[in-house]
Chains A and B, each alone.
Chain A
Amino acid sequence: MSDERRYYRGSTDGKKPRTSDPLAKARGEYDLIVIGSGLAGMTAANVLGSLGHKVALLEQHYNFGGMATWFKRSGGHVFDVSLHGFPVGMVKTCRRYWSPEIASRIVQLDGIRFDNPQFHLDTTFTREDFTEKLVSQFGAERSTVEGFFDYLRGLNYYDDPRDTVADCFERFFPGRNDIHRLLLEPIAYANGSTMADPAIAYGIVFSNFMSKGVYTFTGGTDWLVAKMKDELRRNGVELFNNVQVERITVENGRATGVVAHGRQLRARAVLSNANIKRTILDLVGREHFAPEFAREVEAVRLNNSSTQVYIGIREGCSVPWITDLLFTSTREQFDSPALCDFRGQSRTFSFYYPKVRPGSERFAIVSSTNANFADWAKLDDATYVQEKARLIEETLRELERYVPNIREISDHIEAATPRTFEFYTQHVQGASFGTKWEGLRPSMELSSHIEGLYHSGSVGIIMSGWLGAANYGVITANKVDLFLRAAAQTAAGGR
């Protein structure tokens, strides 16, 4: 299989030929095969392994974790890609479906700051603090603010999704572009929400954050994923990396396993953590579905992609305390689609101090923007390289406002673009946060189209982010457990 290529460590956009068979130790048959080791795939595999099912987890990358990932660079640099912050609910999720040890590493961020032409503020990002700021700094009526929070909290996901974020903002804070910016910008970075999305999707995520603020992991993503792998093995899950699943096999309307590296692995059930569109339209193939369902899936819109700039601080140098998360923009007015602009004026900086990895004395800064895949996909190679350099330069210039000597104290800088995200996660168009609202239904209903086939992973905005993806893994695991138990009973001739 010399034409098969895989990533190699230290490469930013290259693959090299494979030398050994990553499936050498695989058995011929499992209760469940999970495709993809994102937080949804891993959490589902862990729950189902702990319930006694024979589970194999297949991941195309050499690292597990999907978008929950990190990378190392010479000079002792470690960069976290998606560890900027998540809601407190992650504590409960980790304690229950992973381990108390993992849960115990979750800590609240010390600082969140906004800095843009409309306002400057430091916040704990909680309902109490936002209410205070909206009343005293923005001059909103307290009762209106309370009403807004209560409205969002009261939304249920079976409610009418036609009320959009824009409608909702206009009802409570008409014409207040500055307030809209405060309320939406952080959530847009967290899951790609826009003014045009259903208020319910925004409301669930916003309320989750507002309950107790923003949290992170001490130890970094590498520590977390290493612990998760230990836990998966302890629960009997067989882990395979460097395995590209080519196809999900379907016989007589039932999922029977997967084909990877030309080999058929059989299973009673298959759970795909790959992108929902890729799962249905490529891995299974539209010919296995009713045409109207295939059309529905085709029409599912993807969320935006991202760019990031990773800045490594030289050993021995330090960054003074600024804040943990800095939402910054030089754009006069807030405009939701402009957050994805190719030459955007808005970005978030995540500052990683030594507290993130206790025992290490190192600092790093990661800048993130939302981005459209199409803007980057169309560039020829030379322009692509130039545009990456331009992105880095603009980011540094912006960062100099907060860390004036950044050019002297940093000794590693590189950028990731929507192309990079697509390359590593195989999400269609490098989508950072899965799909828009309408992706939820086909994902949830997949098993009613093909028996034994399930999906879990970022869809519908609400199931994305670390917490959303992990919890969706549990929701799907519950369905798979029911199915496998029923199948085992039938096989045993039970009633």
Chain B
Amino acid sequence: MTRDEIVIAIKDIIATIAPDEEVSNLAMDVRLRDQIELDSMDFLDIVMELRKRYGVQVPEEDYMQLSTLQGCVDYLGPKLESKSLVLTALKG
């Protein structure tokens, strides 16, 4: 996955978890929870989806790294390098 694809991967996971939220305009450097309504259960879901879709483990102490899209790209970049993008919500 390229860095751009990682952004799409995260947006797709958010769109799956929170179908009522608009994900296309999310800013890279602003905390996700300041842009859309995400609570701690939502974050847990993001982590579980990452594991389910890509086999990526995010230990609890690293959850903070996923607070912005840029943070996700930086943290997940190396872990997702060799994986290919899986889309469910943003298909078509």
Output the residue of A93, A96, A474 with the most chain B CB within 10 A: A96
Output the residue of B44, B45, B48, B52 with the most chain A CB within 10 A: B48
Contact of B41 among A471, A481, A482, A485 (CB under 8 A): A471
Q: Would you call the interface of chain A mostly helix, strand, loop, or mixed?
A: helix
Do B41 and A478 touch across chains, with their CB atoms under 8 A apart?
A: no
How many Å from the CB of B38 to the closest CB on chain A? 11
- Determine if B57 is an interface residue (Cβ-Cβ < 8 Å): yes
- Determine if A475 is an interface residue (Cβ-Cβ < 8 Å): yes
Do A485 and B44 touch across chains, with their CB atoms under 8 A apart?
A: no
- Determine if B47 is an interface residue (Cβ-Cβ < 8 Å): yes
A contact residues, range:
10 to 19
Residue of B nearest to A93 (CB): B41
Q: Would you call the interface of chain B mostly helix, strand, loop, or mixed?
A: helix
Do A481 and B44 touch across chains, with their CB atoms under 8 A apart?
A: no
**Chain B 1-25 interface residues, beta-carbon cutoff 8 Å to A:** 17
Q: How far is the CA of A47 from the CA of B45 in the complex (A)?
A: 11
Do A482 and B51 touch across chains, with their CB atoms under 8 A apart?
A: yes
How many Å from the CB of B19 to the closest CB on chain A? 9
Residues in A with CB closer than 8 Å to B48 are 47, 478, 481
- A96-B17, A482-B57 in contact; A474/B44 too (CB < 8 A)? yes
Residues in A with CB closer than 8 Å to B45 are 96
Number of interface residues of B (CB under 8 A): 9
Q: How far is the CA of A485 from the CA of B48 in the complex (A)?
A: 12
Q: How far is the CA of A88 from the CA of B52 in the complex (A)?
A: 27
Residues in B with CB closer than 8 Å to A471 are 41
Residues in A with CB closer than 8 Å to B52 are 51
Residue of B nearest to A156 (CB): B40
**Chain B 28-80 interface residues, beta-carbon cutoff 8 Å to A:** 41, 44-45, 47-48, 51-52, 57
Do A478 and B47 touch across chains, with their CB atoms under 8 A apart?
A: yes
Residue of A nearest to B16 (CB): A96
Q: How far is the CA of A92 from the CA of B16 in the complex (A)?
A: 12
Residues in A with CB closer than 8 Å to B41 are 89, 92-93, 471, 474
Residues in B with CB closer than 8 Å to A474 are 41, 44
Interface string of A90-108 (1 = CB under 8 A from B): 0011001000000000000
Residue of A nearest to B58 (CB): A482
Known contacts A93-B41, A96-B17, A478-B44; 15 further A-B pairs (Cβ under 8 A): A51-B52, A92-B41, A96-B45, A471-B41, A474-B41, A474-B44, A475-B44, A478-B47, A478-B48, A481-B48, A481-B51, A482-B51, A482-B57, A485-B51, A485-B57
Query: Which B residues form the contact surface with A (CB < 8 A)?
Result: 17, 41, 44-45, 47-48, 51-52, 57
Identify 20 residue pairs between A and B in the complex whose beta-carbon atoms are under 8 Å apart, listed by A's number: A47-B48, A51-B52, A89-B41, A92-B41, A93-B41, A96-B17, A96-B45, A471-B41, A474-B41, A474-B44, A475-B44, A478-B44, A478-B47, A478-B48, A481-B48, A481-B51, A482-B51, A482-B57, A485-B51, A485-B57
